[in-house]
């Protein structure tokens, strides 16, 4: 009584968006030739696409008509759902275009404190002016935490610094899978009362008797290391990572300090306080840390490019 139907259910995997595009074009144009012209294909391409689809489905999708072709019920089903599918694909393509064209996207930046008032505002200002659709988040973090944030995918890009030869350099330990690019060398400056400042640079060895005001843990480590390289151990009286406080302490005659040049740019020197470079150049290095693949995310790639393009000479940074 009943016919010998295969009765195999149609899997959605047997439907592809290209076939739906073709069906819709045929429905709109009324003929295979018209669809081919509309889609920019040759006539046999459409004919074969439909033929393959019908073979997969095991039923006719179009039937030849006097002039052109018309859809079967199955074809109508496909044409109806094609509208939904193709609308969604168009929407996705639009959003991807926005990401690709830097009209949308989010970049999560982390950087160390003295960058917060110097590099970061200029960077984000340039970027939002150039690409208003790109959004940024920013968290201030010391290098170890910043690196960890990138590792955890909590941040896309991190600006960090490291002192030469630092054994605790977070970039050395378990930075597996991260890309670390040196950006600039940042000059270290001695901060001291004007009265005690010589006219030119200062030899570290002359400072063996001074009281020192230390900064963050790793900065203090660098200070101790530098002093011991010059044959003495610094007398550390005060500790704070608050730069204006350090300067005020220097102004109050409580000691001298060794600060990176970005700290100067962020906080004006109090009167009576000045800076001098050490006789033997002292610097730390600023790095850009990113997860691999960051270059293949348009907004992040654009941000890294913008970072490299920053004019940083006014802050005492040297490209290197």
Least Cβ distance, residue 4 to its own copies (angstroms): 8
Question: Three-state SS across the chain?
Answer: CCCCCCCCCCCHHHCCHHHHHHHHHHHHHCCHHHHHHHHCCCHHHHHHHHHHHHHHHCCCCEEECCCCEEECHHHHHHHHHHHHHHHHHHHHHHHHHHHHCCCCCEEEEEECHHHHCCHHHHHHHHHHHHCCCCEEEEEECCHHHHHHHHHCCCCCEEEEEECCCCCCCCCCCCCCCCEEEEEEEEEEEEEEEHHHCCCCCECHHHHCCCEEEECCHHHHHHHHHHHHHCCCCCEEEEECCCHHHHHHHHHCCCCEEEEEHHHHHHCCCCCCEEEECECCCCEEEEEEEECCCHHHCHHHHHHHHHHHHCCCHHHCEEEC
Interacting partner of 11 out of DNA, its own copies, none (Cβ under 5 to 8 A depending on kind): its own copies
Contacted entry of its own copies, DNA, none for residue 47, CB cut-off 5 to 8 Å set by kind: DNA
Nearest approach in angstroms of CB 301 to its own copies is 6
**Residue 33 interacts with, from DNA, its own copies, none (CB under 5-8 Å by kind):** DNA
Residue closer to DNA by CB (options 33, 274) is 33
The residue among 14 and 206 lying less far from its own copies, judged by its C-beta, is 14
52 binds, among DNA, its own copies, none (CB under 5 to 8 A by kind): DNA
Provide, rounded to whole angstroms, the least separation between the CB of residue 227 and DNA: 30
Task: Give the residue with the Cβ less far from DNA, 177 or 182.
Answer: 177
- The distance of Cα 115 from the centroid of its chain, to the nearest Å, equals 16
Query: Considering CB distances under 5 to 8 angstroms, the limit depending on partner class, which of DNA, its own copies, none binds residue 234?
Result: none
Pick 66 or 195: Cβ nearer its own copies? 66
Nearer to its own copies, 64 or 200 (CB): 64
Pick between residue 63 and residue 245 the one whose CB is nearest to DNA.
63
Residue 49 binds: one of its own copies, DNA, none (C-beta under 5 to 8 A by kind): DNA
Q: Report d(CA 264, CA 256) in Å as an integer.
A: 14
Taking the complex as a whole, how short is the minimal distance between the CB of residue 133 and DNA, in angstroms? 28
> What gap in Å lies between CA 143 and CA 171, rounded to an integer?
8
Residue 38 C-beta: closest distance to its own copies, Å: 13
57 binds, among DNA, its own copies, none (CB under 5 to 8 A by kind): its own copies
Binding stretches for DNA (CB under 7 A): 16, 18, 31-34, 40-45, 47-52, 62, 64, 66-69, 151, 174, 176-177
Minimum CB distance to DNA smaller for 61 or for 257: 61
User: In the bound complex, what is the minimum distance in angstroms from residue 34's beta carbon to DNA?
Assistant: 7
Min dist. Cβ of residue 53 to DNA (A): 8
How far is it, in rounded angstroms, from Cα 108 to Cα 119?
A: 15
């Amino acid at each position: 009584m009943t016919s010998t139907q295969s009765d195999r259910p149609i899997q959605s995997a047997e439907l592809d968006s290209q076939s739906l595009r073709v069906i819709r074009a045929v429905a709109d144009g009324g003929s295979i030739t018209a669809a081919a012209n509309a889609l920019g294909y040759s006539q046999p391409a459409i004919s074969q696409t439909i033929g393959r689809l019908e073979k997969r489905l095991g039923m006719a999708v179009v039937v030849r008509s006097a002039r052109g072709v018309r859809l079967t019920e199955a074809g109508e089903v496909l044409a109806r759902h094609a509208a939904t599918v193709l609308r969604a694909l168009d929407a996705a393509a639009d959003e991807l275009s926005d990401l690709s064209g830097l009209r949308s996207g989010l970049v999560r930046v982390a950087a160390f404190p003295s960058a917060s008032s110097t590099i970061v505002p200029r960077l984000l200002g340039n970027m939002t002016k150039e690409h208003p659709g790109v959004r940024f988040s920013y968290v201030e973090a010391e290098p170890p935490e910043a690196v960890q944030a990138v590792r955890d995918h909590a941040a896309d890009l991190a600006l960090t610094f490291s002192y030469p030869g630092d054994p605790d350099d977070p970039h050395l330990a378990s930075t597996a899978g991260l890309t670390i690019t040196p950006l600039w060398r940042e000059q270290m400056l001695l901060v001291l009362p004007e009265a005690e400042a010589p006219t030119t640079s200062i030899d570290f060895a002359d400072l063996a008797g001074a009281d020192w005001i230390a900064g963050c843990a790793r900065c203090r480590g660098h200070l101790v290391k530098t002093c011991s390289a010059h044959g003495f151990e610094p007398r550390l009286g005060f500790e704070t990572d608050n730069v204006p406080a350090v300067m005020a302490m220097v102004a109050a005659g409580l000691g001298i300090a060794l600060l990176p040049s970005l700290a100067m740019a962020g906080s004006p020197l109090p009167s009576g306080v000045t800076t001098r470079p050490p006789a033997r150049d002292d610097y730390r290095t600023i790095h850009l840390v990113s997860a691999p693949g960051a270059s293949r995310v348009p907004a992040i790639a654009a941000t890294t490019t913008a970072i490299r393009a920053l004019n940083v000479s006014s802050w005492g940074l040297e490209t290197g």
